[in-house]
Amino acid sequence: MTKILVLLLCVLLGASEVVNGSVHQKEKVGVFELKKGDLSLKVTNWGASIVSLVLPDKYGMLGDVVLGYNSIEDYKNDTSYFGATVGRIANRIGGAQFNLNGIHYKIVANEGNNTLHGGSIGFSDVVWKVKKYQRDGDSPRITFSYQSFDGEEGFPGDLLVTVSYILTGKSQLVIIMKAKALNKPTPVNLANHAYWNLGGENSGNVLNEVVQIFGSKITLVDSKLIPTGKFASVKGTPYDFLNPHVVGSRINNKKLAATKGYDINYVLDGEKGKKIKLAAKVFDKKSGRELVLYTNAPGVQFYTGNFVQDVKGKGGFVYQAHAGLCLETQAFPDSVNHPNFPSTIVTPEKPYKHLMLFKFSHNKAL
C-alpha cells in the first residue's frame, strides 16, 4: 500500500512543470503530505488545493473523506473546483462588474453574464509557490503563496495571497487564507471548495449524512443565483439546519428544484463579541465520523454537489450528484454590489484574513 502511494506521489511530483505566465516564474506542481497521528492531508500547489484527507472511522479503518482526482492533469481539467482555493472572489458577481471608489470594473464573465469563483482563470487554476513545508512534528504545515497581478481577470491591483494548511491538536485541520493589497483597493473573498464525504470519497453520496448549520438566515438569490440583497429566515423552510437534519430528507423540496439541491449562502449567527463562529457540523452514522467547522467568515455556502455528473475520481470511482457536500465559509456572495452586506474591500492598510478550523472525530457510535 505504502509502495503504491509513494509511486503515485512520484508520478504526481514528476507530472509536469508549468510556467506560471502571470508572475513569470517556473514552479513545479507537486503533491505534499502533512501527517500527524492518524490524520494525513495531501495538498497540491495547483490551485492550493486539498487532494485528500485520510482519517479513521469508528472501527479504526482509514478512509479518504474528500473528493478528488488521481493526477494533476485531472485537477487542471477540473470544472467542479474539487478541494480548490477559489478567488479572487469566491462565488458569484452579478453582471461581472462593480464600482469601487468611483471606478467601474468589468471582470471576466464565466457563467452566463456573471462571474463565478474569480473568472475563467481563478486562483484555483494557477500554480502557487511553496513557501514553507513541514511534513511531520507537532504542527505539520504548508504555506502556498500567489501574487495576483493588477487587472488579472479584470480585478484591480496587485494582491499577495497566502494559504496555509496546518494539522494541530488531536485531529484538527486549520486553513488560514491571507491577502494583502499591494497598491490598490480590491474586493477579496477566498474560500476552500472541498467536497466532503465522511463515509469515504468512494462511498456513493452524502444524502444520509446529518448536517447542522448555525445560520438562521440565508441571502436570497435570483434565478441565476445572484443575491437580491435581501435576507430570509430559514424557519419553516428546507433550508433550516439549526437542528440536525439528514441531508436528503428535504432535498427534493420544490424550493430546491432550480438548483437540484442545496446551493445557498447562510448568514452565520455566531456569539456576540466572538470573532470565531461555530459554522456547521456533519455527522455520518455509518462510519461514526464527525466534522465540526469554525470560522471567522460571515457566511457559509452550503452546496450538495448538485451538478457533479460522471466525474472520474480517485481509483477510477465515478462521482455523481451529491457525491460530496461543500461548506465554503466566505463573505456573502456579490458583496461588492450590495452595500448592506459586510464589506469585502481590502486595502494596503487593511489586509484580509480568513480562518477555518475543522475538528474531526470518529468515536460517536450511536
3-state secondary structure of 350: coil
Run of H or E residues at 279: strand 277-284
CB of 225 to ligand NAG, least distance (A): 12
Single out the residue of 52, 331, 357, 356 nearest to residue 177, CA to CA.
Answer: 356
Footprint of ligand NAG on 256-285 (CB under 6 A)? none
Nearer to ligand NAG, 63 or 313 (CB): 313
Pairwise CA distance, residues 62 & 198, whole Å: 11
109/130 with CB nearer ligand NAG? 109
State which residue, 312 or 364, has the beta carbon closest to ligand NAG: 312
Least CB distance to ligand NAG at residue 96 (A): 10
Answer whether 305's CB lies under 8 Å from 327's CB: no
Mask of contacts with ligand NAG, 214-253, x by CB under 6 A? ----------------------------------------
* One character per residue 37-76, x = contact with ligand NAG (rule: CB under 6 A): ----------------------------------------
Q: Which of residues 87 and 94 has its CB atom nearest to ligand NAG in the complex? A: 94
Q: Which helix (H) or strand (E) holds 8?
A: helix 2-13
Inter-residue contact 122 to 85 (CB < 8 Å): no
Tell me the closest approach of the beta carbon of residue 83 to ligand NAG, in angstroms. Answer: 17
Torsion region of 305: left, alpha or beta (phi above 0 gives left; psi -120 to 50 gives alpha) = left
Question: Of these, 2, 60, 79, 273, which contacts ligand NAG (CB under 6 A)?
Answer: 79
C-alpha cell at 126: 494557477
Of the candidates 117, 193, 338, 354, the residue annotated as catalytic is 193
Backbone angles phi, psi at 114, to 5 degrees: -110, 170
Residue whose C-alpha is closest to residue 253's, from 267, 230, 232, 237? 237
| Known catalytic membership, residue 193 | yes
Question: Contact 120/153 with Cβ under 8 angstroms?
Answer: yes
Q: How far is the CB of 127 from ligand NAG (least distance, A)?
A: 18
Is the Cβ–Cβ distance between 282 and 290 less than 8 Å? yes
Size of the site for ligand NAG (CB under 6 A): 4
Measured CA to CA in angstroms, residue 289 lies from 153, 167, 221, 292, 355 at distances of 39, 17, 33, 10, 22
Residue 77 is a binding residue for ligand NAG (CB under 6 A): yes
Report yes or no: 293 and 281 within 8 Å, Cβ to Cβ: yes
d(Cα 161, Cα 17) in Å, to the nearest integer?
A: 22
Decide whether 94 or 298 has the Cβ nearer to ligand NAG.
94
Q: Is residue 320 close enough to count as binding ligand NAG by CB under 6 A? A: no
How far apart CA 222 and CA 318 sit, in angstroms, is: 32
**111 annotated active-site:** no
What residues between 93 and 152 interact with ligand NAG by CB under 6 A?
Answer: 112-113
Nearer to ligand NAG (CB atom), residue 112 or residue 348: 112
Q: Which of 328, 338, 354, 362 is an active site residue?
A: 328
Query: Is residue 2 at the binding interface for ligand NAG, with CB under 6 A as the rule?
Result: no
Catalytic (active-site) positions: 193, 328
Task: State the residues that interact with ligand NAG by CB under 6 A.
Answer: 77, 79, 112-113
